[in-house]
Structure 1
Amino acid sequence: MNAKFLVCSVIFGTVASAAVCAKDVVTARQADMKAMAAATKSIAGMFKEPSTYRPVEFKHSADLIGDKAGRVLIDHFAREAATSSDSKAKPNIIDERERFDRLANDLKSYAGALAAAAENNPTTMTDSMRMKPGEAMGGGPLGTHVRSEEQLSSIPAEHAFHLMLQTCTTCHSRYRME
C-alpha cells in the first residue's frame, strides 16, 4: 500500500469521525436542552399554581437541570460541536469560553438551590420558597449571578428560579442563532 494513500486515508477518516462525533454531540445537546426546557416548565407551573407543588417532581426537575448543566453543558459546546453545521450555536461561544462556562456553572448552582428547596420543603410550597410582592429580583437580561453558595441559600427558591431563567435567556441571546 502506498504511504501517501495511507496518510490520506487516516486524515480523511479522522476528519469524518470528528464530524460524526460533532453531530452526535449536537443531537445529545439538543435532547438535553429539550429535557431542561420541560423540567423548567414543570417548576414554573408549580410556582404559578403553588397547590400543584409536588416536592419529588420539583426536585427531580431541578436535579435534571443540574445534571445537564455545568461540565456537561460545557462539554456539549466543544469546538467541533459549536461549529458544526447542525448546531444553532453562534461561533462566538468559542471566543467567549470563560463567560459561557460561568453561565453553565451558574445554571448548575441555581438548579442545586432549587433541589435543596424541595428537600427543605417536603410537603407544601412554603412562603419561604416564594418571592414577596415588590421584592427586587435583581439582574436583568444580562443579569447578575449570586456569587456564593451562602448567598444563594439565603434567597427564596423562586428568586433562584428567576436567576436560572435569566441565565438561560442570557446564554440563548448571546450564543444561539435565531
Structure 2
Amino acid sequence: AEMFDGKRAYEPAAFKAAADALSARAGGLTGEFPQGTLGAPSAARPEIDQARPEFEALARHIGRLADALAIKAGNAPPEITADMRMTGPPMDGGSLLGKRPGAAEADPARMPAEHLLHLILQDCTSCHSKFRQKQQ
C-alpha cells in the first residue's frame, strides 16, 4: 500500500514478495481459526464460530483477491503504470467503503493491482471488526 501511496519507493521485487506473502497467508486463513479457537492467542471472538459461513466466505474472497494480486505482481513492470492504478468508479458496483447490495462481483484478474489491494484491505478490516477482539 505504501508503494501505491508514494510513501515508499516502488520496487517490483518487493511488490512481488509482499503480494506472494499475502497470497500464501490468505490461503490458510480458515485453517488458522478452526472451530472453537477463541481468545488468546488468536483474539478470535465467539462470533467467528457463530457466523462461520460468513467468516469462511470473507477468507475465501481475500484469498481470491490476493491470488490475483500475486499474479499481477509476478508480471510487475519496472514502475507503477496507469493500468495498475484505480481509475473511474469502483469496479464492484459499490464504493471503497462498501459494496452495493446485489452488485455483481467483478473478475479479480481484470482489476488493477491498486484496486485489488484496496479490496483486500476492506475485507481484512471487515473481518477484524466482526471477528477479532479489540486489542487492549
- Root-mean-square deviation (CA), in Å? 2.4
TM-score (norm 1): 0.64
Residue in structure 2 matched with residue 170 of structure 1 by the alignment: 126
Using structure 2 for the length normalisation, give the TM-score.
Answer: 0.81
Contact 2:36 2:49 in 1 (8 A): no
Q: Take 1:51 and 1:84, find their aligned partners in 2: how far apart are those partners?
A: 35
After superposition, the C-alpha distances for 1:53-99 in whole angstroms (9 at most, x for unaligned) are 111111111111111113x1101111242x24444111011121111
Q: Which residue of 2 aligns with 1:25?
A: none
Going from structure 1 to structure 2, the CA distance change for 1:101 and 1:139 (only over 3 Å counts) comes to farther
Pair 1:47 & 2:47 matched? no
SS in 2 for 1:79: coil
Larger radius of gyration: 1
5+ residue gaps, structure 1, are 1-43
The code of the aligned residue for 1:163 comes to: L
5 Å matches for 1:75-94? 75-81=31-37, 83-94=38-49
1:73 maps to which residue?
Answer: 29
Q: Is the 8 A contact 1:66 1:111 kept in 2?
A: yes
Pair 51,78 (structure 1): closer, same or farther in 2 beyond 3 Å: closer
Q: Which has the higher relative contact order, 1 or 2, with Cα contacts under 8 A spaced 6 or more apart?
A: 2
Q: Please, which runs of 5 or more residues in structure 2 have no aligned partner?
A: none
Matches within 5 A, 1:81-160: 81=37, 83-132=38-87, 135-137=88-90, 138-141=94-97, 143=99, 147=105, 151-160=107-116
Between the aligned residues of both structures, percent identity stands at 36
Preserved contact between residue 2 and residue 8 of structure 2 (Cα < 8 Å): no
> Match of 2:2, as an amino acid?
G
Code of the residue aligned with 2:22 in structure 1: it is I
Amino acid in structure 1 at the alignment position of 2:63: K
Aligned residues: 129
